[in-house]
Amino acid sequence: MANARDTLLDAALAALTHRPWSAIRMADLAAAAHVSRQTLYNEFGSKEGLARALVRREADAYLQGVRQLLAAPAPPGRNVAAVAEWIVARAAARPVLRALLTGAWNEWLPEPRPARPGARPATVPAQRRADAGPPAPGELVAQTAACAGERGAAVCELAVRLALSHVVAPAPPVSPQCAEPESWSPTTPTMTRLIETILSVETTSPRKTMP
């Protein structure tokens, strides 16, 4: 039922653009996905299970995107800078990811509640993984850094934290008298040069992540 599962998750994500999670009804999601309510409950178990699955899928898609960017045929510094730029842009467009990265959940979002202790494990493997819970913001940052490998982990974490500082406190709007240059991007060329410089410096420090 992988296709039905993805379709239901897509329907839930689309519904969040119009109304808060508390106002979303399972019956409406089933109708939007053209499946029965029983199929929905078979996949997710409950609305809380659906929330956990939606957040887990967002985390997985984010990490896959990071891996693809870091694997691009370009200097490591530029790839890390590309990851930082992508995080800013994607977090702005995807509220669930923004909450995952920052921990700033609100009533509009499906903040995942832990599965009840002693609850019967889900029959669907993907749901059992989702019910284990998504990574906390610090864990997600660490997982992002790990995607860069041992040598690049520290600078990748630095870039991610710089990107998240922009997500949490974005730059103020530009006044009409100071138009943005055509080359504007959330991460400036200065940051790119900084990342490349850090990567070029050999270090014997055993620390692999930023504090």
Contact 148, 67 (CB under 8 A): no
Q: Give 52-120 as a DSSP string.
A: HHHHHHHHHHHHHHHHHHHTSSS-HHHHHHHHHHHHHHHHHH-HHHHHHHH----TTS-PPPPPPTTPP
**Number of compact structural domains in the chain:** 1
Does residue 177 fall inside a structural domain? no
Residue 31 lies in a domain: no
Tens digit of each residue's pLDDT (9 = 90 or more) over 143-166? 999 999 998 899 899 999 989 988
Residue range(s) defining the domain that contains residue 87 = 55-111+120-171+182-200
For residue range 63-120, list pLDDT tens digits in order: 999 999 999 998 888 899 999 999 999 999 999 999 999 998 988 898 888 788 777 8
Q: Is residue 12 part of a domain?
A: no
Task: Please check whether residue 105 lies inside any domain of the structure.
Answer: yes
pTM: 0.81
The DSSP 8-state label assigned to residue 19 in this structure reads: S
The answer as to whether 78 is a domain residue is: yes
- 17 found inside a domain: no
Domain membership of residue 8 (yes or no) is no
